[in-house]
Structure 1
Amino acid sequence: MARISASFDKDLHLVKLGAAVRARRVKLALSQEALADAAKIDRSHMGKIERGERNVTFLNILRIANAIGCMPSDLLIDAGL
């Protein structure tokens, strides 16, 4: 299977999930850097997750949810997924 290049259109599901993460982060008045640190994810990677530029692994969804004090399913529900 061919690898998808970096120039592909963002997947709408990833954009929605990233927006849900960002909304919860902002509601908690956390900086992106603070959330990334709490979730043990590189800050630049967190930015790409929030912009829907990276496919989020299950483990990172768990880390993010734990860092913002919610269930992983809450993020998916917020994203409409």
Structure 2
Amino acid sequence: MNNVKNIDFIIAFGENLRRIRVSKKISQETLAYSADIPISQVGRIERGEINTTISSVYAISKALDLEITELFSFDK
């Protein structure tokens, strides 16, 4: 299985997450607390350093009070 990690997609996801979080005026710390994930993980996701889990994406969507699909609404 070659090319399982699509780095461009992971980076675009993180950039979109940051854009949404900032537009809602929510800090990384508040998002991490609400999603029950480490603050360092939020930063790594936003910088495209990690390929996050489905569970984390679900928790983030709930913490941001949006449909999970909105986190994937970007061009890549």
Same topology, TM > 0.5: yes
Q: 1:16 aligns with which of 4, 12, 16?
A: 12
After TM superposition, the score normalised by the length of structure 1 is: 0.82
Q: Do residues 80 (structure 1) and 75 (structure 2) align?
A: yes
Which residue does 1:32 correspond to in 2?
28
SS where residue 40 of structure 2 aligns? helix
1:71 partnered with 2:67: yes
Where structure 1 has 5 or more consecutive residues not aligned to the other structure, the ranges are: 2-9
Secondary structure in structure 2 of the residue aligned to 1:52 = coil
Greater C-alpha Rg: 1
CA RMSD of aligned residues (A): 1.6
User: Pairwise mapping of residues 56-67 of structure 1 onto structure 2 (< 5 A)?
Assistant: 56-67=52-63
Count of residues paired in the alignment: 72
Q: Deviations over 1:16-66 (max 9, x none)?
A: 100111111101111111111111110011100000001110011100000
